[in-house]
Amino acid sequence: MSECPDLNYRSADLHIVIIGAGLGGLCLAQGLQRRGISFDVYERDTAPDSRPQGFRIKIDQTGQQAIEACLPPALNALFRDSCAIPVDGVNLIGPDLEPVSDRWVASWQRAGGDDAPVGRVEDLNADRLAMRKVLLRGIEAHVHLGRGFTGYERNESGNAWRAKFDDGSTAEADVLVAADGVNSTLRALRLPGVAPVDTGSTCIYGKTLFTAATAAQIAPLFLARTSVAFADRFAVIVDPMKFRQPLGDYLYWGVIGPNDRLNPASDPRGHAHATVLSHTAGWHPGFRALFEGAEPSDVAMLPIRTMNAPPAWTSDGVTVLGDAIHVMSPAGGLGANTALHDAAMLAERLGTAAIKGTPVLAAVADYEAAMRDFAREAIRQSNDGAALLFGAVAAPASETAGLAKS
């Protein structure tokens, strides 16, 4: 993309276009609305629940602070109330439910207990779809579903970006934000030298509904605490999700490991459940029942991709956040929280520019520098978590070294 002759525009009548209505994009939208900055969000999906989005998502102190900074107090309270009731402690176990020690990841926050770090806020377990619906509250008129982003250009006068969509429509913006996830179309156009790398690992996630039958068959230790189980070169994470609101209680579980161990099928939607059952044959019956009690339609398989620390680029008012620029292994539990942190930082920088009347491009550049620094550490911690869980190796730095300045 060619640069505009003068990008040091100021914030009068500032308008932001966000591509992607995931958690990061919606959190940014809420932060902009709270600061009185005009915005629109464009999302290719036709409904918030039109495709599998995952189930449990862990919101750590960083994510909670970001949400609090972006949401009005009443909406933040609604979000917190929609999260699962906190559990007390973590089980570190093996396939036969035997205790395991010395396998702790620094970025994991122990749920309660005397060994929780002093000054740390306890993690929240949110249901991803319920959280997304909270983030949509109050901004529905500015979120345009079923509008797939296809490209962008400068407008005729050269003072704004024009986003183009698959229905032939366009939208102009002073700042254009890629929040469209790991397969970001906007990032691919803006930063063609940056792309996610397949780690050679897989995550299979699912949920098992709480029923009288499942409660009788599943080992009791899974019903009251978070559990992390270490098997032969793969791991399982289990969280009980019991809600104050009528969202439907369930046990969330995720299996994570290298492809040469899990042997993921070529048809992940059709075989994800069977893959888990085949790799847990012979496990303790109370553990095995957790997977047997899941509906195959509630199990999904995804490749694990990552990026190294985002390299620098020349700021031009088209920027990025979340998985679009720093996707990372879920082993550290930091990906979504880093996206929320991005959203809060960008909203704060743009809000400051709006109040002070300072150049918006400078605000975007400041955000990008801070985002890169924060993401670098989050990616490192996520790689450390993956290595501890199943011996994964991060992608080499050369994979993202060819960034084209634009």
pLDDT, position 111: 45
Give the integer Cα–Cα distance in Å for 286 and 214: 10
Spatial CB neighbours of 10, under 8 Å, sequence gap ≥ 6? 353, 357, 358, 359, 360
Q: Which domain holds residue 169?
A: 15-82+126-197+306-400
| Helices 61-70/23-34 angle, 10° precision | 40
19: confidence class by pLDDT, cuts 50, 70, 90: very high
393: pLDDT strictly greater than 50: no
pLDDT confidence of residue 4: 36
> Looking at the structure, do residues 139 and 223 belong to the same domain, yes or no?
no
**Same-domain status, 135 and 245:** no
The reply to whether 295 and 181 lie within a common domain is: no
Final residue belonging to a domain, choices 305, 320, 343: 305
The answer to whether 237 and 228 have CB atoms below 8 angstroms apart is yes
Residue 366 belongs to some domain of the structure: yes
Contact yes or no for 142/41 (Cβ under 8 A): yes
CA–CA distance, 86 with 124 (Å, rounded to integer):
7
The answer to the question of residue 363 being in a domain is yes
Total domains in the fold of the chain: 2
For residue 47, the tally of other CB atoms under 10 A from its CB is: 9
Render the burial of 105-143: b for 16+ CB within 10 Å, e for the rest: bebbbbbeeeeeeeeeeebbbbbbbbbbbbbbebbeebb
Q: Are residues 228 and 292 in the same domain?
A: yes
* 36-45, 158-167, 382-391: segment of lowest average pLDDT: 382-391
Side-by-side strand order, sheet with 170-173: 149-154, 161-165, 170-173
What value does the CA radius of gyration of the chain take, rounded to a whole number of Å?
A: 21
The whole-number pLDDT of residue 106 equals 54
Q: Mean pLDDT, to the nearest integer, of 260-279? A: 82
Average of pLDDT values for 155-177?
97
Tell me the pLDDT band of 394, cut-offs 50, 70 and 90: very low
174 vs 400 pLDDT, higher one: 174
CB atoms within 10 A of CB 231: 16
The pLDDT score that the predictor gives to residue 331 is 77
Q: What is the mean pLDDT of residues 346-371?
A: 96
Of residues 151 and 100, which shows the higher confidence score?
151
**Tokens for 405?**
């300045």
Whether the pLDDT of residue 116 is over 70: the answer is no
> Do 146 and 169 fall within a single domain?
yes
Where residue 225 sits, what CATH number does that domain have?
3.50.50.60
The three-class DSSP label of residue 228 is strand
The verdict on residue 383 lying in a domain is: yes
The answer to whether residues 36 and 354 touch, using CB atoms and an 8 Å cutoff, is: yes
pLDDT at 105 over 60: no
Q: How confident is the model at residue 382 (pLDDT cuts 50, 70, 90)?
A: confident
Arithmetic mean of pLDDT, 298-308: 90
Residue 238, strand partner residues: 227, 253
347 and 383 both lie in a single domain: yes
Model pLDDT for residues 120-157, shown as the tens digit of each residue: 688 999 999 999 999 999 999 999 999 999 999 999 99
Q: Under a CB-based contact definition with an 8 Å cutoff, are residues 136 and 48 in contact?
A: yes
The residues, any chain, with a CB within 8 Å of residue 281's CB and separated by 6 or more, are: 288
Predicted confidence at residue 123, as pLDDT, reads 92
Torsional class of 43: left (φ above 0), alpha (ψ -120 to 50), beta (otherwise): beta
Beta strands in 20-131 (DSSP E): 38-43, 56-59, 90-93, 124-127
Is 3 a domain residue? no
Average pLDDT over residues 96-113: 65
One domain, residues 265 and 364: no
What tens digit of pLDDT does each residue of 177-226 get? Answer: 999 999 999 999 999 989 999 989 999 999 999 999 898 999 999 999 99
Statement to judge: residues 24 and 108 lie in one domain: no
Rounded Cα–Cα distance for residues 333 and 258 (Å)? 18
pLDDT by residue (tens digit) across 56-99? 999 999 999 999 999 999 999 999 999 999 998 899 999 999 99
pLDDT of residue 109: 53
With respect to residue 74, please indicate whether it lies within any of the assigned structural domains: yes
- Reply yes or no on whether the pLDDT at 110 is more than 50: no
- One-letter amino acid identity for 202? T
Instruction: Give the containing element (helix H, strand E) for 304.
Output: strand 299-306
Query: Angle 97-102-104 (CA atoms, 0-180°, nearest 5)?
Result: 90
1 is a domain residue: no
Query: Residue 8: its pLDDT value, please?
Result: 46
Residue 261 belongs to some domain of the structure? yes
Distance, in Å, from the CA atom of 406 to the CA atom of 398, rounded to the nearest integer, reads 19
Q: Which pLDDT does position 75 carry in this prediction?
A: 98
Report percent pLDDT > 90 for the chain. 72
pLDDT for the residue 1: 35
Determine which of 22-31, 129-138, 301-310 has the lowest per-residue pLDDT on average.
301-310
Domain stops at, among 272, 290, 305: 305
* pLDDT, averaged across the chain: 88
Residue 405 counted as domain residue: no
Average pLDDT over residues 215-244: 94
Distance in angstroms (rounded) separating the CA atoms of residues 67 and 344: 7
Which of 68-77, 257-266, 345-354 is the least confident region?
257-266
Residues 159 and 46 in one domain: yes
- Cβ atoms of 371 and 313 within 8 Å: the answer is no
Q: Which residues pair with 127 in a beta bridge?
A: 56
Q: Are 126 and 83 in contact (CB under 8 A)?
A: yes
